[in-house]
Chains A and B, each alone.
Chain A
């Protein structure tokens, strides 16, 4: 049973041209998958469609059986309570401590007050920031801020963690730490879908990889036959059809 399903999805912006066309794929429960491709290839659009911040121009997207075409605002709000979303720029509230930032995700979803702090403490421990709960974002390093953002994404026990370039602003050491954290989270049963430019990161693991170019999926490591079918896609990216692990040409 797939957790996320894209079927012939297209997305065009009124002034931004075609962002996605004929995108179809599925993501299973508990899976870890990378989404890669050059800037402007449509990675963020796919993630936005998963958390239903955008509507497709054609096709359909299902997340946990909820169709994006039938979802009402209230359904989308409920869905997001089961998704963790992490961004490159952390998106923390600067005037709140790490604890308060994490607690915020519980408060706005109506969690009883006495249940909030134990949960916050648990996730801050999980991300290795138990001792920095009272620190403000400006007092934390980039890696630590991203850990707070991940803790906030985890606190509602999501079935899927969506990470949009989570290591894009981090140095090598912090990147390794965040990536290991995401793998640990995945090991505990949460599916992780991570958009990244970092090919080294992808090469170091054997997780499923989807590659986008010009709004189309040109490579999916879970479909070995795609290499054989890849001739037309190869011309669209100007390189031999191959996994990004050896393509080397992805920006």
Chain B
């Protein structure tokens, strides 16, 4: 209770320093949040493209519908497969005409073959898995040909790998910068109260007792900074969505995680700075 009172008193006694701490945490997490927003939207965009990865097995003319249906049942049972759809020559024609728009009269009825369109589950859309499933489908006698856009699946996968690696690297760098800046700010705050800490020790306060208000203060600053950062990131995302490009925002789980990470950084930063200071005394 005393620790909480002291933590709140510290907010009141040194409003400038406290505000500096909150603002530093807020802007550090805001920068991290903006990066997270970009990474999230790139991931979502790639996921949408990825969802279009499909294997199309062209069915030979005259194949009995029963044979195709039985094969579709088998294929659907593959662990990698999400859905299997039979596209008749008529459906293929309608779809092709729709996609080609003004050139829709290029295709004559009966030109396009029937096909079995296979979509894969997330996590199974890498080139090796796609090829393996395609080869298994190719083994059916009635399958004339199998297409799955080998080139662009490989390119897409490479792009995704690069995006993940760059994202993780940049994310870690941003997080490290945030932690360092926040840690330095908290250290300044601890040094500003060095006199108070030394007097606390002289009158017989235990290290745990001295540490507690600082930890609470760091935690509260972290939560406040995290909430400010969340607000700033949301406002930025709204502005971008309204004026330039429709983008997605973090879901509730990620937003909570962001605020919590502020609290944890504040708490750990304080624990580290006070611990170091107490060891030096």
The answer to whether B195 touches A109 (Cβ under 8 A) is no
CB distance from B200 to the nearest CB of A (A): 5
B51 part of interface (Cβ distance < 8 Å):
no
Q: For residue B252, which residues in chain A have a CB less than 8 angstroms away from its CB? A: none
**C-alpha gap A227/B199 in the complex (Å):** 40
Contact check: which of B13, B195, B205 meets A108 at CB < 8 Å?
A: B205
Q: For residue A109, which residues in chain B have a CB less than 8 angstroms away from its CB? A: 203-205
The answer to whether A77 touches B198 (Cβ under 8 A) is no
Q: For residue A83, which residues in chain B have a CB less than 8 angstroms away from its CB? A: 204
Contact check: which of A53, A73, A108 meets B203 at CB < 8 Å?
A: A108
The answer to whether A156 touches B199 (Cβ under 8 A) is no
The range of chain A's interface size is 20 to 34
Which of A51, A81, A109 has the most chain B CB atoms inside 10 A of its CB? A109
CB distance from B139 to the nearest CB of A (A): 74
Chain A, Cβ-Cβ closest to B207: A73
CB distance from B186 to the nearest CB of A (A): 20
B206 part of interface (Cβ distance < 8 Å):
yes
Chain A, Cβ-Cβ closest to B198: A91
Chain B, Cβ-Cβ closest to A149: B199
B202 part of interface (Cβ distance < 8 Å):
yes
Within 8 A of B (CB), among A90-109: 91, 93, 95, 104-105, 107-109
B196 part of interface (Cβ distance < 8 Å):
yes
Within 8 A of A (CB), among B179-235: 195-196, 198-207, 209-210
The answer to whether B203 touches A152 (Cβ under 8 A) is yes
Q: For residue A81, which residues in chain B have a CB less than 8 angstroms away from its CB? A: 203-204
A65 part of interface (Cβ distance < 8 Å):
no
**C-alpha gap A51/B210 in the complex (Å):** 18
**C-alpha gap A156/B204 in the complex (Å):** 10
Known: A91-B195, A93-B195, A93-B199. A77 touches B204 (CB 8 A): yes
Q: Could you give, for residues 1-14 of chain B, a 1 whenever the CB lies within 8 Å of some chain A CB and a 0 otherwise? A: 01000100000010
CB distance from B17 to the nearest CB of A (A): 12
Within 8 A of B (CB), among A45-81: 51, 53, 73-74, 77-81
The answer to whether B2 touches A107 (Cβ under 8 A) is yes
Q: Could you give, for residues 97-124 of chain A, a 1 whenever the CB lies within 8 Å of some chain B CB and a 0 otherwise? A: 0000000110111100000000000000
**C-alpha gap A95/B195 in the complex (Å):** 12
The answer to whether B196 touches A93 (Cβ under 8 A) is yes
Chain A, Cβ-Cβ closest to B203: A105
**C-alpha gap A78/B206 in the complex (Å):** 8
The range of chain B's interface size is 10 to 19
Contact check: which of B13, B199, B209 meets A91 at CB < 8 Å?
A: B199
Within 8 A of A (CB), among B123-173: none
A85 part of interface (Cβ distance < 8 Å):
yes
Q: For residue B200, which residues in chain A have a CB less than 8 angstroms away from its CB? A: 104, 108
The answer to whether A108 touches B198 (Cβ under 8 A) is no
The answer to whether B207 touches A80 (Cβ under 8 A) is no
Chain A, Cβ-Cβ closest to B193: A93
Q: For residue B206, which residues in chain A have a CB less than 8 angstroms away from its CB? A: 73-74, 77
Chain A, Cβ-Cβ closest to B5: A107
**C-alpha gap A170/B206 in the complex (Å):** 32
**C-alpha gap A74/B196 in the complex (Å):** 19
Chain B, Cβ-Cβ closest to A101: B199
27 contacts between A and B (CB under 8 A): A53-B281, A73-B206, A74-B206, A78-B204, A80-B201, A80-B203, A80-B204, A81-B203, A81-B204, A82-B204, A83-B204, A85-B202, A85-B203, A91-B195, A91-B198, A91-B202, A93-B199, A104-B199, A104-B203, A105-B204, A107-B2, A107-B6, A108-B200, A108-B209, A109-B205, A110-B2, A152-B203
A→B interface (CB under 8 Å): 51, 53, 73-74, 77-83, 85, 91, 93, 95, 104-105, 107-110, 152, 156
Seed contacts A105-B204, A108-B209; 7 additional CB < 8 Å A-B pairs: A80-B201, A80-B202, A104-B203, A107-B6, A108-B205, A108-B210, A109-B204
